[in-house]
Chains A and B, each alone.
Chain A
Amino acid sequence: MTTTVAVATAVPAHEARPAVLARPTFLGILRGEWIKLLSLRSTWWTLAATVLLMTGVSLAVAASLDTVAADPATGPGLAALTGAEVVSGGFQLGMLTIAVLGALLMTGEFSTGMIRSTLAAVPTRTPVLAAKAIAVAAVTAAVVALGTAVSYTVTMPLLAPHGMVPALDELRTWQVFGGTLYFLVAAALFSLGVGTLLRSSAGAITVALTVLLLLPSFLVFVTLDWVETAVEYLPLPASGAFLGGGEDSLSAVGDGLTPATGLLVVAAYAVVPLVAGAAALRRRDA
């Protein structure tokens, strides 16, 4: 059936009226995502929590150095721990809040219906995900840098007596600080990708935290050979390959990988879900 509604009368000269000369650009889309990220209270809460957790843990570790050094059972192990690792010690907790931030950035749009407005404005879709990735990576990098700086400052008085204040002119210090930042940015992108694939906040946060934290925590107790190998390729253990970490830390499991492999494995966790998420975002109904 062909149905033509409306009698095609002469159309007033509406074509000649561009009151708003508007055109989407990637920079504009990026600015839009940036405003989105910063205009939510939940963003500021998670960012503040990240800095607090990072600082809190590093303070706690630094404060316990006296006891650790005095105990003959743990004292010798202290030699393997560097000041930089103490300062960055809170990154595993910071990873949790950062993962939540990354996931909510996308799932919040699906749960509220905002995604329809977003995709109506950018019907090519993939630029939205790219812009979100850049925005969350930038915010994560900034907040991790801030968290590290605050941790460095507050732990200094406690580290000084042990001669452990990280030397800022040493490459090793910057490897740890930079590695922490790299890992947390990857964690944010990983959960953004998972959130894009799963769309549900609860689902995405559960999956992200399981892969990032729960699996390495539990599987570390399984002594089967192939499980031990597999665990090395989980993100947190893999980060140990370039972060070092004390004997007891989860990161230590990854000592089996070379630093370069560790970096690549972590990068894969960031990139693969994002690419899959981009494909899903393009294909699915909103």
Chain B
Amino acid sequence: MIEAHGLTKRYGDKTAVDDITFTIAPGSGTGFLGPNGAGKSTTMRMIMGLDRPTSGTVTVNGKPYAQHRAPLSEVGALLDAKAVHTGRSARSHLRTMAATHNVPASRVDEVIEMTGLATVAGKRVGGFSLGMGQRLGIASAMLGDPRTLILDEPVNGLDPEGVQWVRRLVRSLADEGRTVFLSSHLMSEMAQTADQLLVIGRGRIIAAGRVQEVIDSVSGAAVRVRTPRAAELAELVRGDDVVVTSPEPGTLEVRGIDAARVGDIACGSGIALHELSPRSASLEEAYMSLTQDAVEYRSTTTSPAAPKGANR
């Protein structure tokens, strides 16, 4: 259970997280979705007590993270694949973390095995690929066998097999009744990994709920109409909650009412329709529509995809 109330973080005059309030119930995989720079990592660092909120509070299982008696058994976090000293071996890194909590050495071997790091555990982390770094981060998050897991972009840099592995891991952890909160800037990834979504853009929550609900709630669902009397029909259907656009002459896109209603209105006025087709938003369209006003680093070229790449 993660609860945030009015959580805000400003760095100088830059507002990274802007007064967000949310609750993440236990026993589920919740995706934290948003374009780069939206404030995901900052929110997660505040949950972990690493960054101090400018205002607002956030608790994990009822208490601020720092007040838990056994923090690593309460919350395991992969905040940054690079949150490891490059000069140390993977095993030494895990041993230092384990020592603080008196976690037995056998558990270190267990998480090494679990994350498939056995063959490289003795090697220095400096030489690790991004994917190996992610696995080490997940191993270290699992050390204390925590009830809650916070994973910041866990599939970043993983090969397809690694991505599959993370998906299965998240599923099985959530099925065991743990709270898994994982972030991504890729909608398609979240749809396959999470049950619920929390969508953030420019530091604000812009949508939340079950994955399908979030997609459905987006105005991306439209009705496409082709008719010789387009202008007339547009006047008839236009209303307070109905938006009509005309992508090309003789064609309308109607948002706010369904296809049946458009057909009825047209019939009532004797307007012939040459096409009447409902278009449901695809995952990516839903995402784009949700975040289009919230993309921080919109590329100046015309690429419609959310910018990818390095993530703090």
Contacts of A31 in B (CB 8 A): 99-100
Q: How many residues of B contact A (CB 8 A)?
A: 65
**A112/B86 contact (C-beta < 8 A), A6-B195, A121-B101 known:** yes
Closest CB in chain B relative to A9 CB, distance in Å: 7
A interface footprint on B23-59 (CB within 8 Å = 1, 0 otherwise): 1111110100000000000000100111110000000
- Whether A120 lies near B50 (C-beta < 8 A) is yes
Contact partner of A120 among B22, B71, B88, CB < 8 A?
Answer: B71
- CA A121 to CA B75, docked complex, whole Å: 10
User: Which residue on chain A has the smallest CB distance to residue B85?
Assistant: A114
B261 → A minimal CB distance (Å): 30
Kindly identify, within residues 1 to 49 of chain A, every residue whose CB is under 8 Å from any CB belonging to chain B.
Answer: 1-9, 11-15, 17-20, 22-25, 28-29, 31-33, 35-36, 39-42
With A116-B80, A123-B49 known as contacts, the answer to whether A23 contacts B70 (CB < 8 A) is: yes
24 A-B pairs with CB atoms under 8 Å apart are A2-B22, A3-B198, A4-B22, A5-B22, A5-B25, A5-B28, A5-B208, A12-B175, A14-B177, A14-B178, A19-B145, A22-B70, A23-B69, A23-B73, A24-B70, A24-B101, A29-B100, A31-B99, A35-B95, A108-B87, A112-B83, A112-B86, A114-B85, A120-B48
A12 touches B176 (CB 8 A): yes
Q: Does B92 contact A (CB under 8 A)?
A: yes
Interface residue ranges of B64-82 to A (CB < 8 Å): 65-66, 68-73, 77, 79-80, 82
> Would you call B117 an interface residue if the criterion is a C-beta within 8 Å of the partner chain's C-beta atoms?
no
Q: Which of A28, A115, A117 makes the CB contact (< 8 A) with B102? A: A28
> Which residue from chain B places its CB closest to the CB of A285 in the assembled complex?
B51
B96 touches A39 (CB 8 A): yes
Q: Which listed residue, A6, A19, A120, touches B24 by the CB 8 Å rule?
A: A6
Please indicate which of the listed interface residues A24, A42, A283, A285 has the most CB atoms of chain B within 10 Å of its own CB. A24
A29 to B101, CA, bound (A): 7
Q: Which of B66, B86, B95, B99 contacts A123 (CB 8 A)?
A: B66
With a cutoff of 8 Å between Cβ atoms, the chain B residues found around residue A114 in the complex are 83-85
- Bin the interface of chain A by size: 35 or more
With an 8 A cutoff between CB atoms, is A119 at the interface? Answer: yes
User: Is A122 interfacial (CB 8 A cutoff)?
Assistant: yes
Q: How far is the CA of A86 from the CA of B299 in the complex (A)?
A: 67
Contacts of B102 in A (CB 8 A): 22-25, 28
User: A32 touches which one: B79, B80, B82, B97 (CB < 8 A)?
Assistant: B97
Q: Mark B116-132, 1 if CB is under 8 A from A, else 0.
A: 00000000000000000
Residues on the A chain within 8 Å of B104, using CB: 20
Residues of B within 8 Å of A2, CB to CB, are 21-23
B198→A24 contact, CB < 8 A: no
A contact residues vs B (CB 8 Å cutoff) = 1-9, 11-15, 17-20, 22-25, 28-29, 31-33, 35-36, 39-42, 108-109, 112-117, 119-124, 283, 285-286
| Nearest B-chain residue to A42, judged by Cβ | B87
Please measure, in the bound complex, the distance between the C-alpha atom of A41 and the C-alpha atom of B97, giving whole angstroms: 19
Contact of B209 among A5, A119, A121 (CB under 8 A): A5
Given A5-B25, A41-B87, verify A28-B50 contact (CB < 8 Å): no
- Indicate if B205 sits at the interface (CB-CB under 8 A): yes
| Nearest-Cβ distance from residue B228 to partner chain A, whole angstroms | 45
Does residue B147 face the partner (Cβ distance < 8 Å to A)? yes
> B93 — which chain A residues lie within 8 A by C-beta?
117
Q: Which residues of B contact A117 (CB under 8 A)?
A: 83-84, 93, 97, 140
Q: Are B65 and A123 in contact (CB under 8 A)?
A: yes
CA distance A33 to B92 in the complex (A): 11
- Cβ–Cβ contact B103 & A20, under 8 A: yes
